[in-house]
Amino acid sequence: MAPFLLLFVALATASPMKRQMTGGLDADMDGMVSYAEVSAVMSLHEALVALDSDGDGFIYLPQIVELWGSADKFYELNTDGDDYLTFREIENGMSLQDFFNEFDSNDDGMLDAIEAYQVNFIYDIWYNNAVADNPLDSNGDGKISRMEILSHMTYDEVLKALDVDGNRELTAVELNVLMGVGTTQFIADQDSNNDGVVDFQEAYLNRMNLRRIFNRLDLDDSNYLENGEGSGFYVVWDAIVMMGGGTNPNGN
């Protein structure tokens, strides 16, 4: 079942009593949910992970309409004109505060029981699944898909993360963090001047990109990184987050 249909069914079948409650986000039990209460327990990334029930890293137009009753935000955030929003598009275009404000229909800075219903629904999914414990495995299935990688980072961010000394050249030692046993072949393919390192310009030769890096690491051609195949991406991810890039699951 499509993600937006799951959301619709959940909303339609919820009991009247539950609809009147502000739920687990109402920490002070005053019957209202504040932004402070939301931001204390959930990031924007975690909200998106909860909405992305099929784990493909995309949020679709019907989901946005279900959330906010309008397609306006979808078209505002959809920078490349395709039929879905990536996590990156959403997080580049709005903060957790903006996300909260979309539910605050009367602009009073608080969410009452009706306004807070869907935010609580999103939080319940995230809290119960606890998928944020593994920042790259968005759907919690124990393996990393191509879309999960692409929704978290760019190829340029990966190159910068690997470039420990910041000279825009990647040595075998630096590349080994991500490429592992494929390091030698990667250098052979990309090192056009045969100086033993891959500079950032060379890294883009032969149409190399993050998708192709993923394919090289997917040693069993399963279309997933599992059994240690993607371990280097976690090191790279930590470096990207430290540099303030990527889609930080602990930030807004």
**CATH numbers and ranges of domains, the chain:** 3-133 (no CATH), 144-242 (1.10.238.10)
The whole-model pTM stands at 0.49
- Which CA distances in Å does 60 have to 4, 45, 51, 86, 103? 8, 16, 10, 9, 18
Question: Could you report the per-residue pLDDT of 86-143, keeping only the tens digit for each?
Answer: 988 998 999 999 999 999 999 999 998 888 888 888 887 766 654 445 778 877 777 8
Terminus-to-terminus CA distance in the chain, angstroms? 29
C-alpha distances (whole Å) from 87 to each of 22, 61, 168, 174, 230 are: 27, 13, 27, 28, 20
CA distance 57 to 25: 25
Q: CA-CA distance, 63 to 7, in Å (whole number)?
A: 8
> What's the whole-number mean pLDDT along residues 134-157?
85
Q: Quick one: pLDDT at residue 247?
A: 59
Q: Is the alpha carbon torsion for 22, 28, 30, 36 positive or negative?
A: negative
Contact residues for 140 (Cβ-Cβ < 8 A; gap 6+): 55, 129, 130, 131, 134
How many Å apart are CA 135 and CA 46, to the nearest integer? 9
- Taking Cα atoms as reference points, which of 7, 33, 38 lies closest to residue 21? 33
DSSP 145: E
